[in-house]
Structure 1
Amino acid sequence: MTSRLSPDDQARVDQYLSAPQHRVERKPFRPWMLLAVILVSVIALGLLSRLLSRLVL
């Protein structure tokens, strides 16, 4: 893939990305873990809302 940047700008981008603060190793994205966290959060908030509604009514 060719770059649309000028060679000078591309050199600046490469220098910026090679800086130590931009070389963080990241864990792979796990969509099933994200889905599980969202599901647990929704269930927990639903149970909390039912508990609060029983306390109020």
Structure 2
Amino acid sequence: MSSRLSPEDQQRVDDYLQLPQHRVERRPFRPWMLLVLTVAITVGLGLLSRLISYLVL
């Protein structure tokens, strides 16, 4: 994919992205962990709502 920037502007962008504050190491994205967390929170909130309704009614 060719850049629409001029070579000077592309060099400025590259230099900017190489600054230390933009080079943060991140852990790889794990979609299964997100799914497990979402299901666990949903089940937990459902159980909490049943407990509250049992105590109130």
TM-score computed with the length of structure 1 as normaliser: 0.92
5 Å matches for 1:12-51?
Answer: 12-51=12-51
Give 1:11 shift.
1.3
User: Number of matched residues?
Assistant: 57
TM-score computed with the length of structure 2 as normaliser: 0.92
Gaps of at least 5 residues in structure 1 are none
Give 1:48 shift.
0.4
Give the match for residue 6 of structure 1. 6
Give the percent of matched residue pairs that are identical in Structure 1 and Structure 2.
Answer: 68
The superposition leaves residues 9-56 of structure 1 with CA deviations (integer Å, 9 ceiling, x where unpaired) of: 211110110000111111111100000000000000000000011111
Gaps of at least 5 residues in structure 2 are none
SS at match of 1:24: coil
| Coordinate RMSD, CA, aligned | 0.8
SS at match of 2:5: coil
What is the distance in 2 between the residues matched to 1:43 and 1:32? 16
